[in-house]
Amino acid sequence: MLHHIQKNIINVLASKDPARYADIKPDGMDGNQFTYHLKQLITNKLIQKNNGGTYSLTQKGRTYLIYRYESLDEAAHSIFLVIVRHNKKHLLRKRKVQPLIDYIGFIHGEPIANEPLAITVQKRVLKKTGLAVKEMSIHGSGLIRIQCDGELQSFSHAIIIEATVPSDKLAVVDDETGENFWIDNIRTDSIDKLIPSTRDILAFADDSSIRWFDWTYEL
């Protein structure tokens, strides 16, 4: 967590970038104390000193500004959920790690800033299942909250993606974080510890008129 002096420096640079030393140093503050915090920000690569002696935010510093008011306990985690199908079969994954350990749902992953989402999805599914997916489509996105005894277990902004696999390559592999298996009818089959949003996600993907959802579940 940043010291309040360091936060103030970044806040000044948010509206005046580049800025001189005199612009970012509060009146009346001890110079040695201020210089210490200024150097800490440079060391942590949140700001940089320019050739002309002025100071600017780095990309890391600009990213900090985007999230400075968010609490990790309250902010939604951005993910994608992949409905992998072959004809009427769907691929599910049992989690071996927290959060929601031992629960079953779709393959998931996180978007990557410098990579197209389709490429990220292909890599993720291949890494976690050994399957090469194709014919991907994005159905929309929304918010999913999962609670247990009133305590939040996960809060995600989920992008819903559907993908198919070649008919002759259905064998899957597992890894240390999950076990994969095909199911014939996810809509009606009884599945122990199914993540409660799973069937709603499938229904969402089947309804082309809906592009957004906001769901809350209790385990």
pLDDT computed for residue 31 by the predictor: 87
Instruction: Report, as an integer, the average pLDDT of 38-63.
Output: 92
Residues 164 and 201 in one domain: yes
Residue pLDDT, tens place only, 77-118: 899 999 999 988 999 999 998 888 899 999 999 999 899 999
Give yes or no for residue 37 having a pLDDT over 60. Answer: yes
Is residue 94 in some structural domain?
Answer: yes
CATH number of the structural domain spanning residue 173: 3.90.79.10
Is residue 106 in some structural domain?
Answer: yes
Residue pLDDT, tens place only, 124-139: 999 999 999 988 999 9
Nearest to 154 by CA among 46, 53, 69, 76: 76
Residues 196 and 101 in one domain: yes
Instruction: Report, as an integer, the average pLDDT of 171-178.
Output: 92
Residues 163 and 62 in one domain: no
Residues 36 and 91 in one domain: no
Cβ contacts of residue 89 below 8 Å, gap of 6+? 170, 182, 183, 184
Nearest to 161 by CA among 134, 188, 179, 184: 134
Residues 119 and 184 in one domain: yes
Long-range contacts of 187-190 (CB under 8 A, 24+ apart): none
Instruction: Report, as an integer, the average pLDDT of 41-67.
Output: 89
Confidence (pTM): 0.74
Region of poorest pLDDT, from 66-70, 75-79, 137-141 = 66-70
Mean pLDDT of the chain: 90
Q: How far apart are CA 210 and CA 42, in angstroms?
A: 47
Q: Which of 5-14, 22-31, 48-57 has the highest mean pLDDT?
A: 48-57
pLDDT computed for residue 70 by the predictor: 62
Query: How far is C-alpha 19 from the chain's CA centre?
Result: 33
pLDDT computed for residue 211 by the predictor: 92
Residues 113 and 203 in one domain: yes
Q: For the chain, how many structural domains are there in total?
A: 2
Q: Which domain holds residue 115?
A: 77-218
Is residue 72 in some structural domain?
Answer: no
Confidence of residue 173 (pLDDT cuts 50, 70, 90): very high
